[in-house]
Amino acid sequence: MRSPAPRPGRARLLSVLLALPALTGGLLAGAPPGFAEPAGRAAADRPAAAVAADTYTWKNVRIDGGGFVPGIVFNRTEKNLAYARTDIGGAYRWQQDTRTWTPLLDSVGWDDWGHTGVVSIASDAVEPNKVYAAVGTYTNDWDPGNGAVLRSSDRGASWKKTGLPFKLGGNMPGRGMGERLAVDPHKNSVLYLGAPSGKGLWRSTDSGATWSQVTAFPNPGNYRQDPSDTSGYASDNQGIVWVTFDESTGSPGSATRTVYVGVADKENTVYRSTDAGATWSRLAGQPTGLLAHKGVLDAENGYLYLPYSDTGGPYDGGKGQVWRYATRTGEWKDISPVAEADTHYGFSGLSIDRQRPGTVMVTGYSSWWPDTQIFRSTDRGATWTTAWSYSSYPERANRYTMDVSSVPWLSWGANPAPPEQSPKLGWMTEALEIDPFDSDRMMYGTGATVYGTENLGAWDTGGKFTVEPMVRGLEETAVNDLAAPPSGAPLLSALGDIGGFRHTDVTKVPALMYQSPNFSTTTSLDFAESEPDTVVRVGNAEAGPHVSFSRDNGTTWQAGSDPAGVTGGGTVAVSADGGRFVWSPQGAGVQTGSGSSWTASTGLPADAVVESDRVDPKTFYGFKSGVFYVSSDGGATFTAKASSGLPTDGSVRFKAVPGAKGDIWLAGGSAGGAYGLWHSTDGGATFTKLTGVTEADTIGFGKAAPGASYQTLYTSAKIGGVRGIFRSTDAGASWTRINDDAHQWGWTGAAVTGDPRVYGRVYVGTNGRGIVYGDTADSGGPGVPGDPPGPGTCSVTYRITNQWSGGFQAEATLTNSGGTAWDGWSLGWSFPDGQKVTQLWNASYAQEGAAVTVRNLGWNAKVPPGASVGFGFTGSWSGANDRPAAFTQGGKACTTG
């Protein structure tokens, strides 16, 4: 796996390794109890059947935050309309009545996973229903796709997409600068986008539908964080980094005349056009030697404020200045809160109070130690005050109080020596915005959360303003591993950057992440199947051991010891009885031991993925490069099995079924080679590939369906030509897609596990949207066609619940309004506009031309008089999407509502 850069401190510098399916390591550790495969039902006899669908309710396992929020944007004409962008976890809209964030990009699918990285967001001040997002995660080859601009006319509920001929970097260096995307405040059909990689400045004149390069713009930028980086990550030209309109130079319906553009070029960082973008020139007299991270204009008084840093950020920066440019006179003035010689950080996060434009705030975004700093001026930068200062070093006097009781893990369990404090005010604070309608409300993003205050005015009156998390609903963790033990906590997680959590209630934020030690990233974890209080986790750490053990189901932990040479967590497994561990760390060969000491295993290559049998405490398994290995002596020695046809490259994860010795499922591979899902019932001696499962990346088990004896299977896979999250209740004979097109979450290839105690509940790991869990409306049973239709009087309601360019989602309710119970039903209609059903859940369907027939499944065949049955579906359309005019059930016409 490739790592772009070392991480400075506890913030998500990057989650590159988690975002790339072909490069991701790790495995799912732990699994629920189950039963053996019934005799005579081997996988070879059970090719995958036709795919059905089920209605699931999806929610986040609550962590609240967990990653970098580089941008917050308030709409300038509508109160309480605000958006946040994340580097890998999509975009969000603020919901004032609940004080929560609503995710807006969950519909991004597997093939477009890079579009969960948001490099910029723009809210239209003329038509507040419109919002735009510039998306793409990496500009180098880690992201195979180009960037795009998404446009919405319903505040992000649905999107239309325009692909770009270049890549965008929501998770690249410089991502905290901006905003790179801007809407003309007078002629809102005009937008500008600053591109990276030397691609220049781009403009749309049709509300984002098409884009063309502004060829007159003279400077595509030249700043690179590290020109010697051969990966292309730190060596990419950071390009055009912000666009700002001077609304005082235009009138409604006409393009704004004066536009300022920021460029990643230390000698030429600010340009201006005074003829609506026809010509451009370098702004005369500007400071040099630094980069302007933002350009914030007070058009009322004619001042452009510019926070500068010696680097592009968001985690680096050692010197900075703040300047004010008078747009009417051309005067430049250094208004830095601190002399450059006295800084050890750069400036960013600049905002002005739109109610009182003389009030300016700016952050020392890269002040990692002892804390970030926030500066405030009420006289246009002539004088400044600070959020905290030294009373008598190292003691601090704070103008604020912090209340993190809603997200208590933000303390990190730290008890630092002064002048550090816990919780910190923040780090990587490039996004700070004062509400344009409320001088008392401010929000700012950090490397881990969104903080805010609603009594900011206390800063100026001698009181203390209260800082608290304003992050509920915004989930931004990258998931490496998940485990759902049969007893104790329902969920244990291994996460990037904040380690992971023991969730005793998935609807509540845990008090603290794992401690003793607190890994920066947990790469793998496992519990003992028959002794689930025994848990082991491994991970990456800046210093100290990379392994830790718990004997109370993850409540408390004790650090283990490292063998020589260990540099990273790798993967780990614990025996079924909890008495033995096998660890495959980075930097050293595979090890076996009791936790306090380690002995090198033989026969298994370094960096192999390891797992344990869930029944036999002496049996462990390993896999690397197409070869499956087995140990029958507690991991001391491994022997390669003769099984063939397994993936030789790409990411592979496998798990052993609880309750059945030697029953193993293996998922993974790559598009260029073997790729799919394999099953072994003989301890890995042979594997059989499931037909119909063309791609699979994860495998997990959950409670068996009612009436079934085998564990329910869950996978992130491509089955029947459709990518999604799938469930099988009959050991892989048939599959049910349980997510839908509105719930895809980009890349979901790292971890999935069912719940051993709740049938149908599944936990899915994402790369930036945290852990999502789903609960089913299905009572169980395979995804097979239902019974024949029955006659009866009926009524139907049909409702389109969501619609976007070329697609829509609808739901229908069929009611038995007669006096006789149905034992099977069949609902038919004809689409009036050539619509096509693409996926349907809670029933089976067939379509021929415009005619659609929907039939019951086995579990919803019986419908008593007065009762109803419902199903939902997604479809495609063009031109029009009118509802069907008539419906029939069992050959008889239904009334419609």
CA–CA gap between residue 594 and residue 581 (Å, rounded): 6
CA–CA gap between residue 601 and residue 637 (Å, rounded): 6
- DSSP-based three-state secondary structure for 249: helix
Q: Nearest Cα to 710, choosing from 40, 26, 147, 253?
A: 40
CA–CA gap between residue 173 and residue 22 (Å, rounded): 22
Q: Residue 876 corresponds to which tokens in the numbers above?
A: 């495609």
- For residue 889, which amino acid is it? Q
CA–CA gap between residue 241 and residue 22 (Å, rounded): 30
DSSP notation for 503-530: ES-TTS--S----SS--SEEEEEEE-SS
Work out whether strand 259-263 and strand 160-163 pair parallel, antiparallel, or are unpaired.
unpaired
Q: Nearest Cα to 176, choosing from 261, 70, 247, 260?
A: 70
DSSP notation for 427-488: SS--EEEE-TT-TT-EEEE-SS-EEEES-TTHHHHTS-EEEEE--TT-B--BEEEEE--SSS
Give me Rg for the CA atoms of the chain.
29
Work out whether strand 675-680 and strand 664-669 pair parallel, antiparallel, or are unpaired.
antiparallel
- CB count within 10 Å of CB 721 equals 8
CA–CA gap between residue 117 and residue 165 (Å, rounded): 17
- DSSP-based three-state secondary structure for 71: strand
Q: Which of 112, 310, 435, 497 is catalytic?
A: 497
Q: Which of 54, 64, 87, 265 is catalytic?
A: 87
497 is catalytic: yes
385 in Cβ contact with 375 (< 8 Å)? yes
CA–CA gap between residue 753 and residue 28 (Å, rounded): 8
Q: Nearest Cα to 312, choosing from 238, 217, 385?
A: 238
Would you call the peptide bond into 357 cis, given omega within 30 degrees of 0 as the criterion? Answer: no
Buried b vs exposed e over 209-233: b needs ≥16 C-beta within 10 Å?
Answer: eebebbeebebbbbbbbeeebebeb
- For residue 448, which amino acid is it? A
622 Cβ partners below 8 Å, 6+ apart? Answer: 582, 584, 590, 604, 608, 609, 610, 611, 628, 629, 630, 631, 638
858 in Cβ contact with 760 (< 8 Å)? no
130 backbone φψ class: left, alpha, beta (φ>0; ψ -120 to 50): beta
832 in Cβ contact with 884 (< 8 Å)? yes
646 Cβ partners below 8 Å, 6+ apart? Answer: 623, 626, 627, 628, 652, 666, 674, 678, 687
45: phi then psi, degrees, rounded to nearest 5:
-90, 0
76 in Cβ contact with 107 (< 8 Å)? no
Say which DSSP state 498 is in: T
DSSP notation for 818-832: SSS-EES-EEEEE-S
Say which DSSP state 743 is in: B
Helix (H) / strand (E) element for 816: namely: strand 807-816
CA–CA gap between residue 130 and residue 366 (Å, rounded): 33
| Contacts by 437-440, CB closer than 8 A, 24 or more apart | 437/79, 437/80, 437/354, 437/355, 438/79, 438/355, 439/353, 439/355, 439/356, 439/359
179 Cβ partners below 8 Å, 6+ apart? Answer: 71, 73, 120, 121, 122, 242, 243
CA–CA gap between residue 311 and residue 840 (Å, rounded): 51
528 in Cβ contact with 548 (< 8 Å)? no
Q: Which residues are catalytic?
A: 87, 497
